[in-house]
Amino acid sequence: MLEIHEKLYIGDVVEMRKQHPCGGWAWEVVRVGADIGLACCTCGRRVLLPRRKFARGAKKFVKRGNPAASE
């Protein structure tokens, strides 16, 4: 679980606590805001999650994105 106020950047890769039906665990952050846009690193599917739900479902960062790309 991540902090709800954890700063997120485009390009962050997070491991989720639940496995995606495609078999993947890792998701890339493609949009930040009130809702967090995620793309599955395995199948490419995109979802939008409210920040609270994202923070609950995320386990840890696999990779950090570039802060400058998220402004």
* DSSP state letter for 67: G
Question: Distance between CA 51 and CA 30 in Å, rounded?
Answer: 13
Site for Zn ion in 12-31 (CB under 5 A): 20, 22, 24
Q: What sign does the CA torsion over 7, 11, 12, 17 have?
A: positive
Binding-residue total with Zn ion (CB under 5 A): 6
| Segment interacting with Zn ion, rule: CB under 5 A, options 3-11, 26-34, 35-43, 56-64 | 35-43
The residue whose two tokens read 């967090």 is 36
Does residue 1 touch Zn ion according to CB under 5 A?
no
Residues that bind Zn ion (CB under 5 A): 20, 22, 24, 40, 42-43
